[in-house]
Structure 1
Amino acid sequence: MLADSSSSLAHGHKGRTGLVRILFATRHSLAGLRAAYTGENAFRQEIWAASVMLPLALWLGQGWVEKALLMGAVLLVLIVELLNSAIEATVDRVSMELHELSKRAKDLASAAVFLSLVLCGGVWLAALWHRFVPG
Structure 2
Amino acid sequence: MSEESPFKGKTGLRRVWNAFNYSLAGLRAAFTCEDAFRQEVWLAVILIPAAFWLPVSWGGRALMIASVLLVLIVELLNSAIEAAVDRVSLDRHHLSKRAKDIGSAAVLIALVNVAAVWACVLLEGVR
TM-score past 0.5 threshold:
yes
Equivalence for 2:38: 44
Of 103, 111, 124, the match for 1:109: 103
Of 60, 64, 74, the match for 1:70: 64
* AA in 1 matched with 2:92: L
* AA in 1 matched with 2:3: D
For CA contacts below 8 A with separation 6 or more, give which structure has more relative contact order: 2
Aligned pairs (5 A) from 1:1-135: 4-5=3-4, 8=5, 11=6, 13-60=7-54, 62-131=56-125, 133=126, 135=127
Seq. identity, %: 56
Give the drift of 1:60: 2.4
**2:56·2:122 contact (CA, 8 Å) conserved in 1?**
no
Query: How big is the alpha-carbon RMSD for the aligned residues of Structure 1 and Structure 2?
Result: 1.4
Count of residues in correspondence between the two structures: 126
Larger radius of gyration: 1
Task: Give the unaligned 5+ runs of structure 1.
Answer: none
> Runs of 4 or more off by more than 6 Å in structure 1?
none
Give the secondary structure class of the aligned counterpart of 1:87.
Answer: helix
